[in-house]
Structure 1
Amino acid sequence: MRLFFGLQLSQQSSLSIDHWRTTSLPPLTHPVPLVNFHITLTFLGNLDQRRLGQLAEAADEIVSQPFMLTLDELGFWNKPGILWLGCKEASPILLTLTTKTKHSANQLGFATEKRSYQPHVTLARRCESPPPAPIIPSGFTQEFQNFALYESVSTRSRVRYNIINEWSLG
């Protein structure tokens, strides 16, 4: 199982971001379907299904609180060709939650990514170059009241992100 901890965007936020992407950016070759919009907290990689219980117990111990996050920065990672929507200023609560999910996974012996954390929603993959500046600036604010454990399921035609378990932030 390929797993990660993440934040689910509301349906309204996903629809608003998708509408903004469609009307403010040029057509994208490989847009991410809006049903897959999320913000990754900690990527866990491939894990044995028998360890799900341990991971859920560790997540049960994470204490946090709801927080607001504004997605207001368009970014591009050249090497993987990822176009993303992130935040100019990440919530301290979000950063602490990320640290806690990573620590919980590490305590169980799971290897997590070492690179610095950039909260974002992936808008498109396999982009050859960054698009021009958007016609309409981004600015989507949402309150997050839960975090989730997701499974990434790949098929021949697409990837789906399924929520396995969810925890309240307060």
Structure 2
Amino acid sequence: MSDKPDSTARVFFALWPNAAERAALAGWQPPLRELCGGRAMLAANLHNTLVFIGNIAEHRLEALKLAAQEVEAERFKLRFDLARYWGHNHIVFAAPHSAPPQLAQLVHDLEQHLERHRFRFDRRDYKPHITLLRHAKWSDSPLPEMPAVPWPVHDFVLVQSPQQEGDSHYRVLARFPLTPRP
């Protein structure tokens, strides 16, 4: 038996945009950065987090994937059409004016399956958003209008994020399809 601790992976579940959606969202970054400063997120990493797990022993990743496979949720459409700023963490983000009920149901069902399989995760009120800029500065004034980004959501993903500075690319570990609407 080895004294070496298990390797861990830092993971979360997310909605992962396709290339066109990602390019449209990345197009928001230059004008917002001009206004707010900060550091733009890599376009390849843009996503909408559903549930953040954090560090997990790598040997538990298969069980995590199995728990996610149990989720039965319907496809839906999102429309990111607002740029917003959170002063408490200095983030500029894209948000939908309104979120479809299927999104809240997906998050709820995913959390229920994770609980049932005894996985720990961050519990917070779910607010759909895509971080565009970090270390930004802005006031309470509204940010300018941005071109809407429609996003037909067909699946959700399990993503591994880097654990050390310098390695900044996220990696999709698994995809979980959503059911087409009847």
Aligned with 1:92 (options 84, 101, 104)? 101
Give the structure-2-normalised TM-score. 0.85
CA drift at 1:130 = 4.8
1:72 maps to 81
Describe the SS at the equivalent of 1:122: strand
1:141 maps to 150
Assess, with a 3 A threshold, how the Cα gap between structure 1 residues 132 and 11 changes in structure 2: closer, same or farther.
farther
Aligned with 1:19 (options 1, 17, 27)? 27
Structure 1 ranges of 4+ moved more than 4 A = 130-136
Contact 2:64 2:114 (8 Å CA) reproduced: yes
1:115 maps to 124
2:50 maps to 41
CA drift at 1:109 = 2.0
CA drift at 1:23 = 3.8
Question: For residue 22 of structure 1, what is the amino acid of its counterpart?
Answer: P
The one-character-per-residue Cα deviations of 1:23-61 (angstroms, maximum 9, x if unpaired) are 455163311011000111100111011111111111111
| Uncovered stretches (5+) of structure 1, i.e. residues with no partner | none
2:5 maps to none
Larger radius of gyration: 2
Give the structure-1-normalised TM-score. 0.90
Aligned residues: 170
Identity rate, percent: 24
Question: For residue 114 of structure 2, what is the amino acid of its counterpart?
Answer: A
What root-mean-square deviation, in Å, do the aligned CA atoms of Structure 1 and Structure 2 show?
1.9
The one-character-per-residue Cα deviations of 1:90-136 (angstroms, maximum 9, x if unpaired) are 11111111111112222222222222111111001122335965554
| Uncovered stretches (5+) of structure 2, i.e. residues with no partner | 1-8
Question: For residue 4 of structure 1, what is the amino acid of its counterpart?
Answer: F
